[in-house]
């Protein structure tokens, strides 16, 4: 083994252990080897692409968790579809609510998400992945985090919170599918 230097396992891998989001106890975790390429430029481009996608999915998952929790306590007044006489309070929470939204509502949601995706794909990324040049909390024209150390800490926290939210929303979907509610007692 020591003499077999042509092994693909010995390829000069790019070191991603100092990137944002690499935190203890796992450090840089890539069990399937998605970041291993013989071409280091290709490895860097693929890592950058996957990190941007991870950040975007984490942001969507954080919003999805909020969207699952908030309607348990607060509902918008008014109508989701005035022509169908469908009030927001008539739509159940969770997975059951998806069937209640009219087709025109789904088309609006898909169009909005599509526009956001196209605009995000057009956006120029800075050297700091996930920083689209907006202010803190993604507020356009908001106050930006100028301190590089604080910005790195905030973006690492966002990546980790996004990872947690991705697991959380899948757990909420799973429990809702099994019990009919994302909350409550499993015994019932």
Helix (H) or strand (E) holding 101, with range, is: none
Pairing of strands 79-81, 86-87: antiparallel
Give pLDDT tens digits for 49-77: 888 888 888 988 999 999 888 888 888 89
Q: If you average pLDDT over each of 26-35, 47-56, 135-144, which comes out highest?
A: 47-56
1 pLDDT band (50/70/90 cuts)?
A: very low
| Low-confidence winner among 8-12, 146-150, 166-170 (lowest mean pLDDT) | 8-12
How many angstroms separate the CA atoms of 92 and 151, rounded? 39
How many angstroms separate the CA atoms of 105 and 91, rounded? 13
- Better pLDDT: 127 or 100: 100
DSSP state, 75?
-
Q: Does residue 10 register a pLDDT over 80?
A: no
How many angstroms separate the CA atoms of 131 and 170, rounded? 26
pTM for this entry: 0.79
Distances from the Cα of 60 to the Cα of 7, 117, 158, 184, angstroms: 40, 11, 12, 24
Helix (H) or strand (E) holding 19, with range, is: none
| Low-confidence winner among 98-107, 145-154, 157-166 (lowest mean pLDDT) | 145-154
Q: Give the pLDDT score at 185.
A: 61
Return left, alpha or beta for 87; rule: phi > 0 is left, psi -120 to 50 is alpha, else beta. beta
Q: Give the pLDDT score at 169.
A: 95
How many angstroms separate the CA atoms of 162 and 117, rounded? 18
């Amino acid at each position: 083994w020591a003499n077999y230097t042509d092994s693909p396992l010995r390829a000069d891998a790019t070191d991603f252990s100092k990137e944002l989001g690499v935190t203890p106890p796992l450090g840089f975790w890539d069990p399937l080897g998605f970041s291993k390429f013989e071409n280091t430029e290709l490895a860097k481009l693929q890592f950058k692409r996957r990190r941007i996608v991870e950040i975007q999915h984490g942001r969507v998952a954080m919003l999805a968790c909020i969207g699952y929790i908030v309607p348990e306590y607060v509902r918008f007044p008014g109508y989701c579809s005035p022509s169908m006489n469908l009030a927001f309070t008539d739509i159940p929470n969770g997975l059951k609510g998806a069937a209640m939204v009219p087709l025109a509502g789904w088309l609006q949601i898909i169009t909005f998400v599509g526009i956001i995706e196209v605009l995000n794909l057009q956006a120029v990324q800075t050297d700091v992945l996930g920083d689209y040049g907006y202010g803190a909390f993604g507020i356009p024209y908001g106050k930006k985090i100028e301190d590089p150390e604080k910005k790195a800490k905030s973006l690492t926290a966002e990546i980790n919170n996004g990872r947690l939210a991705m697991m959380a929303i899948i757990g909420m979907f799973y429990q809702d599918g099994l019990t009919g509610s994302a909350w409550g007692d499993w015994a019932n």
